[in-house]
Structure 1
Amino acid sequence: MRRRSLGHALAAAAWLPALARAQGWPNRPVRLIVPYAPGGANDILARLYGRRLTERLGQPFLVENRPGAQAILGTELAARAAPDGRTLLVAASGPLVFNPAVHERLPYDTRKDLAPVSILAAYPLVVVVPGDSPFRTFQDLMAFAREHPDGTNYGASAASFQLPTELLNQRAGTRFAYTAFDGSAETVRAVAEGEVTMALVDAGSALAAHAAGRVRGLAVTAPHRLPAWRGCPTMAELDYPDLTLRLWSGVLAPAGTPAPILNRLATELAAITREPSVLETLRALSLDPIGSSTEEFRRVIETELPLWAEVARQAGIRPERSTASPVRSPG
């Protein structure tokens, strides 16, 4: 009994410095590194939550945009920061679970170098075709693609759109060929102008083109139908339940950040997510509010890392050694 009590005392003593840091946190400004250019969904999220964290916690939460190399540069910067709660990463699933599937060597390891805090929001993808396309339904598109296996292509601006479309190829038995674009806006433009047969894009980026009739939505990957995309069935309704998927944006910290800080931050972020004004902003961006715990976020990462690695392998996507865009290997 004496030995057990001593062990408990030593364990508690080891936690005291971390607990003390957490109780005083934040006592200095906090950086929110966004590995994307200003104006995108992640930048908007970082500024929205940063403003509310500043008001709730009494210290400035300052957004720092560090775009480049498919979000690799900013993600590495956050992963290499001191684990003291003064640097956080606001990033989407792209650099965290998709990039590891298509890059042989990354300057960070999602599991080892970053500590999940909370998923802020998730966003489904929508299958879009040109507004004047003859395809009125998803079934029309699939039937044409199977009849013309070498006559269809899709647009994607990053692995987070390429791999879900390759998963569609694998599940539907189609051979849509990959065409790279610089961003979601460029991909939507290419669809609208008929440069590609279709694309899987985030619902928010295609909403204006959809409203103007420049693109037509055929299906959504959400678990439910989307109000802004009325008439678009879910993939589950179309008998593709494993294509029910959403990209997400979340907050992470450098690995080694004390658990009390992570848990307090997750609690604050979840509370902010439930605020009516925040909910309204997220839904206007076609984002689904989440506000997860640290453990829930960790489970999502652990599930998706092997999933997308296997999709890339089956699609014949050769991992890149550099930070360049992934390419398909011959054959």
Structure 2
Amino acid sequence: MQTITRRGALTLAVAGLAAPALAQPRYPDRPIRLVIPWPAGGSADSQLRSMGEIAGRALGQPVVVENKPGAGGTLGPMTVAQQSRPDGYTLTQMHLSVLRRPFMMKTPLWDPIGDFTHIIGLTGWLFGTAIKADSRFETWPQMIAYARANPGRLTYSTSGIGTTNHLAMETIQELEKIELTHVPFRGSNEGVTAALAGQVDMVCDSSAWAPFVEAGTMRALSVWTAERAARFPNVPTLKELGYDMEVTSPYGVSGPKGMDPGVVRVLHDACKAALFDAENIRIRGQFDMPLVYRDTEDYRAFLVQRVEYERAMVKRLNLSLDG
């Protein structure tokens, strides 16, 4: 029989305590990749970059941004869901188009709940409609009157087919019994460029248009928040224009399915602290982005509920990506 001395037993005990620490390195121990599904320079890109930079300092590792636009803002999240390990080192922006788009496909490519680990709810967008300063329209009612008299003649840009702003414009056309021509782009900045160049009549998107309205080269016809935007006190809301609509499209951060709850907790806490940091508050104020913070449990519950709403909207408007 082998005899274990007191010193030997102590050595084994210490080794047993040390083994898990060696098997489970501290998280994070390398850079974290944050996939933003829009071109650089827009409001969400600016907010998420700021949050990532602040969170990276607390985490002790940089948060590296990768812009991956396409497919109405869903290419990036889809890639993360399908190709990334659930180790906490690849994250993406989760927005409402990611919930909606599978219901627009004959064969859905992802499950918006089951294929992701949802971490935190953050903020939303200031959406609105803006035109060139020298446009024939002075007001929203003038635009509607022209559209009614000229079906299909007016064009508007959004950041993609099946995005929240696209659905809002489809709803408005349905309510007004008018026909507009939709011109989708990969992001709001591209739509603003097209409007300024006269390639489309108006941009209906998040607030990439705001600096141009302030500079006097564009004019805002409406904002889609519950109250008038502080920067544009003379611009009416959709509710003031007669529509029972409020469109802010709240978004958050998610990762691939199967992430460790402990890692999720670390990421939630770092992102929450960054969201409430003065610099990120300043960025959100610059774009009039409303605070829509939800913790991990509440954010997942919100998304589960919202998926059913999006499914019903796609069916009601008969939206399809399959022609």
1:61 aligns with 2:63: yes
Cα distance change on mapping 1:129 and 1:308 into 2, 3 Å: farther
Q: What SS class does the counterpart of residue 270 from structure 2 fall into?
A: helix
Deviations 1:105-130 (A, max 9, x none): 34322111112211222112112233
1:218 aligns with 2:225: no
CA drift of 1:247 comes to 2.7
Q: What SS class does the counterpart of residue 291 from structure 1 fall into?
A: strand
Cα distance change on mapping 1:305 and 1:218 into 2, 3 Å: same
Q: 2-side partners of 1:73 and 1:277: how far apart? A: 29
Candidates 191, 200, 207, aligned match of 2:204: 200
Cα distance change on mapping 1:120 and 1:231 into 2, 3 Å: same
Bigger-Rg structure (1/2): 2
* 8 Å CA contact retained: 2:69, 2:186: no
Q: What SS class does the counterpart of residue 126 from structure 1 fall into?
A: strand
Deviations 1:199-246 (A, max 9, x none): 31112x1023212333211111111211222211111222312x2011
Partner of 1:165: 169
User: 2:235 is aligned with what amino acid?
Assistant: C
Cα distance change on mapping 1:145 and 1:138 into 2, 3 Å: same
Q: What SS class does the counterpart of residue 123 from structure 1 fall into?
A: coil
CA drift of 1:279 comes to 0.4
Partner of 1:236: 239
Partner of 1:174: 178
TM score, norm. by length of structure 2:
0.79
Pairing 1:258-273 to 2, within 5 Å after superposition: 258-273=260-275
Higher deviation after alignment, 147-156 or 271-280 = 147-156
Pairing 1:140-155 to 2, within 5 Å after superposition: 140-155=142-157
Partner of 2:102: 100
Cα distance change on mapping 1:171 and 1:296 into 2, 3 Å: farther
Q: What SS class does the counterpart of residue 297 from structure 1 fall into?
A: helix
Q: What SS class does the counterpart of residue 64 from structure 1 fall into?
A: strand
Partner of 2:192: 188
Cα distance change on mapping 1:302 and 1:91 into 2, 3 Å: closer
CA drift of 1:198 comes to 3.1
Cα distance change on mapping 1:296 and 1:200 into 2, 3 Å: farther
* 8 Å CA contact retained: 2:55, 2:63: yes
Partner of 2:35: 33
Q: 1-side partners of 2:39 and 2:150: how far apart? A: 39
* 8 Å CA contact retained: 1:116, 1:252: yes
Deviations 1:129-180 (A, max 9, x none): 3322343322232233334334433222302132221122123332222233
Q: What SS class does the counterpart of residue 205 from structure 2 fall into?
A: strand
User: Unpaired runs of 5+ in structure 1?
Assistant: 1-20, 321-328
* 8 Å CA contact retained: 2:122, 2:251: yes
User: 1:198 is aligned with what amino acid?
Assistant: M
Q: What SS class does the counterpart of residue 247 from structure 1 fall into?
A: coil
Higher deviation after alignment, 84-93 or 247-256 = 84-93
Pairing 1:5-24 to 2, within 5 Å after superposition: 24=26
Cα distance change on mapping 1:79 and 1:212 into 2, 3 Å: same
Q: What SS class does the counterpart of residue 125 from structure 2 fall into?
A: strand
User: 2:299 is aligned with what amino acid?
Assistant: F
Cα distance change on mapping 1:149 and 1:303 into 2, 3 Å: farther
Cα distance change on mapping 1:119 and 1:138 into 2, 3 Å: same
Cα distance change on mapping 1:153 and 1:276 into 2, 3 Å: same
* 8 Å CA contact retained: 1:42, 1:91: no
Partner of 2:17: none
CA drift of 1:264 comes to 3.9
User: Unpaired runs of 5+ in structure 2?
Assistant: 1-22
* 8 Å CA contact retained: 1:29, 1:59: yes
Q: How many residues align?
A: 298
Partner of 1:123: 125
Deviations 1:37-80 (A, max 9, x none): 44444443333222222221223333334444444443233213
Q: CA RMSD in A?
A: 2.9
Q: 2-side partners of 1:47 and 1:189: how far apart? A: 22
Q: Which runs of 4+ in 1 moved over 6 A?
A: none
The alignment-based identity, stated in percent, is: 25
Partner of 2:277: 275
TM score, norm. by length of structure 1:
0.77
